[in-house]
């Protein structure tokens, strides 16, 4: 048993005795494989990794930044995805030219355009394996495969990234410390029953044993979602969302500004706005399981009753244009809200122009 307990100490000693430089920088390029539920295409990845080796530890901190320009499936829509991660890296003993490695960490992912899909910004966990292949002094080819998992709108989102990069090490070496052998420590006996995820439901009856901290659960230990919109009660800022409404990451109805502009006292669509109509019609054609409610608005000039009628005409004109582009009329309803709910001040021409707008609410069929 004592020999077995010496193994971790020998591994740590071997790691620290290596003639490592203090810093490593690796520009990387690769490919990201996405699960189908995210409605995203697989895409190229670009980024950089920076590792610090001066800690007296077998694990080295690494900061990584990755970027992808990703297309949505069956669509001309795309989005920018940035991922920032802090990892702990363990490097095994060097074998000839090869240095195997493993890593685990936590990060955050941002998605610039969601378009009503089940995607959202959020934290993720990652784990990966790889190797460095020595090319010259302080220069190596770095190969990695990294799995990333995130709690998304409708469950866990999974991504697999494969990366290759050129690793450059610099900053001088450090002396190896003396490591004392560890002594045998007997593990504490495990309780017969417990509550590993601290949700108030014992492990023996917990049907969802990995519930995140702070999430409100039912008697079976599973998260509550009273309005069935995919957002847990504990984080749902709009807990009474009507059935079938598409919601954002806060559980509130997703409103899409179509960026369609009108002149004062007019319901004629200006020429530049037709491009936005084309994009939205294409989106509805691809996402045939969605319908839309088109809502028109005006600025505050004119009477409230007149503005109400004018805003409805604006919404009806947008519906007509979408139908011309192939969207079935029964998938679109319209409404006019007049001068209600302004998004900018009505005291300036610029603000009034922003208030003369069209918004779309997406509805699941």
Instruction: State the CATH number of the domain containing residue 17.
Output: 2.40.160.20
Assess if residue 187 is contained within a domain: no
Domain count across the chain: 2
Summarised one tens digit per residue, pLDDT across range 274-284 is 888 999 999 88
Q: Are residues 148 and 281 in the same domain?
A: no
Assess if residue 208 is contained within a domain: no
Quote the pLDDT of residue 330: 94
The whole-angstrom separation of Cα 78 and Cα 71 is 4
- The larger pLDDT score, comparing residue 49 to residue 271, is at 49
Beta strand 43-52 pairing with 23-34:
antiparallel
Assess if residue 213 is contained within a domain: no
Assess if residue 229 is contained within a domain: no
- The larger pLDDT score, comparing residue 308 to residue 210, is at 308
The mean pLDDT of the chain is 83
Which residues are CB-neighbours of 349 under 8 A, at least 6 positions away?
Answer: none
Quote the pLDDT of residue 16: 38
Q: Are residues 44 and 154 in the same domain?
A: yes
Q: Are residues 142 and 281 in the same domain?
A: no
Quote the pLDDT of residue 341: 92
Assess if residue 271 is contained within a domain: yes
- State mean pLDDT over 322-335: 94
Q: Are residues 275 and 154 in the same domain?
A: no
Summarised one tens digit per residue, pLDDT across range 213-230 is 767 777 777 777 776 766
Taking each helix axis from N to C end, the angle separating 304-324 and 274-286, rounded to the nearest 10 degrees, works out to 60
What's the token pair of residue 144?
A: 């990695």
Last residue of a domain, one of 123, 138, 170: 170
Answer yes or no: is pLDDT of 118 > 60. Answer: yes
Answer yes or no: is pLDDT of 9 > 70. Answer: no
Q: Are residues 28 and 135 in the same domain?
A: yes
Summarised one tens digit per residue, pLDDT across range 166-199 is 999 998 755 556 566 666 777 776 666 787 777 7
Q: Are residues 52 and 146 in the same domain?
A: yes
Asked if 258 contacts 318 with a C-beta cutoff of 8 angstroms, the reply is: yes
Answer yes or no: is pLDDT of 288 > 60. Answer: yes
Q: Are residues 39 and 155 in the same domain?
A: yes
Assess if residue 209 is contained within a domain: no
Least confident segment among 8-17, 90-99, 195-204, 333-342 = 8-17
Quote the pLDDT of residue 61: 94
Q: Where are the beta strands (DSSP E) in 12-121?
A: 23-34, 43-52, 59-71, 78-91, 98-111
Our separate counts of H helices and E strands in the chain read 4, 12
127-131, Cβ contacts within 8 angstroms, sequence gap of 24 or more: 127/102, 127/103, 128/87, 128/102, 128/103, 128/104, 129/100, 129/101, 129/102, 129/103, 130/100, 130/101, 130/102, 130/103, 130/163, 131/98, 131/99, 131/100, 131/101
Assess if residue 136 is contained within a domain: yes
Which residues are CB-neighbours of 183 under 8 A, at least 6 positions away?
Answer: 5
Asked if 153 contacts 119 with a C-beta cutoff of 8 angstroms, the reply is: yes
**Per-residue confidence at 246, pLDDT binned at 50, 70, 90?**
low
User: What 3-state DSSP class applies to 313?
Assistant: helix
The whole-angstrom separation of Cα 85 and Cα 63 is 6
Q: In which domain, by residue range, is 60 found?
A: 2-170
Asked if 54 contacts 22 with a C-beta cutoff of 8 angstroms, the reply is: yes
Quote the pLDDT of residue 18: 41
Last residue of a domain, one of 129, 149, 170: 170
CATH number at 324 reads 3.30.1330.60
Last residue of a domain, one of 154, 170, 186: 170
Assess if residue 212 is contained within a domain: no
Asked if 77 contacts 283 with a C-beta cutoff of 8 angstroms, the reply is: yes
Which secondary structure element, helix H or strand E, spans residue 139, and what is its range? strand 139-152
User: What 3-state DSSP class applies to 345?
Assistant: coil
């Amino acid at each position: 048993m004592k020999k077995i307990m010496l193994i971790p100490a020998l591994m740590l000693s071997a790691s620290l005795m290596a003639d490592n430089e203090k810093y490593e920088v690796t520009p990387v390029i690769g490919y990201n494989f996405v699960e189908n539920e995210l409605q995203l295409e697989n895409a190229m990845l670009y980024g950089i990794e920076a590792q610090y080796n001066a800690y007296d530890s077998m694990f080295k901190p690494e900061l990584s930044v990755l970027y992808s320009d990703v297309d949505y499936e069956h669509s001309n829509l795309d989005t920018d995805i940035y991922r920032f991660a802090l990892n702990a890296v363990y490097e095994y003993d060097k074998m000839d030219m090869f240095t195997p490695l493993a890593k685990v960490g936590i990060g955050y992912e941002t998605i610039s355009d969601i378009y009503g899909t089940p995607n959202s910004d959020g934290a993720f966990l990652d784990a990966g394996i790889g190797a460095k292949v020595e090319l010259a002094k302080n220069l190596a080819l770095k190969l990695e495969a990294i799995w990333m998992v995130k709690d998304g709108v409708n469950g866990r989102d999974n991504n697999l990234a494969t990366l290759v990069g050129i690793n450059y090490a610099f900053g001088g070496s450090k002396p190896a410390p003396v490591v004392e052998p560890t002594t045998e420590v007997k593990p504490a006996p495990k309780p017969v029953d417990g509550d590993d995820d601290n949700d108030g439901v014992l492990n023996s009856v917990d049907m969802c044993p990995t519930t995140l901290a702070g999430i409100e659960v039912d008697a079976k230990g599973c998260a509550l979602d009273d309005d069935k919109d995919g957002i847990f009660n504990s984080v749902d800022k709009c807990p009474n969302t009507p059935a079938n409404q598409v919601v954002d990451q806060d559980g509130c109805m997703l409103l899409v500004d179509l960026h369609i502009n009108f002149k004062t006292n007019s319901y004629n669509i200006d020429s530049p706005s037709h491009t936005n109509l084309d994009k939205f019609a294409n989106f509805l054609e691809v996402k045939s399981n969605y319908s839309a409610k088109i809502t028109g608005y005006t600025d505050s000039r004119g009477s409230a009753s007149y503005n109400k009628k004018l805003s409805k005409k604006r919404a009806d004109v947008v519906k007509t244009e979408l139908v011309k582009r192939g969207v079935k009329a029964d998938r679109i309803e319209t409404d006019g809200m007049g001068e209600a709910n302004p998004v900018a001040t009505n005291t300036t021409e610029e603000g009034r122009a922003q208030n003369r707008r069209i918004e779309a609410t997406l509805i699941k069929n």
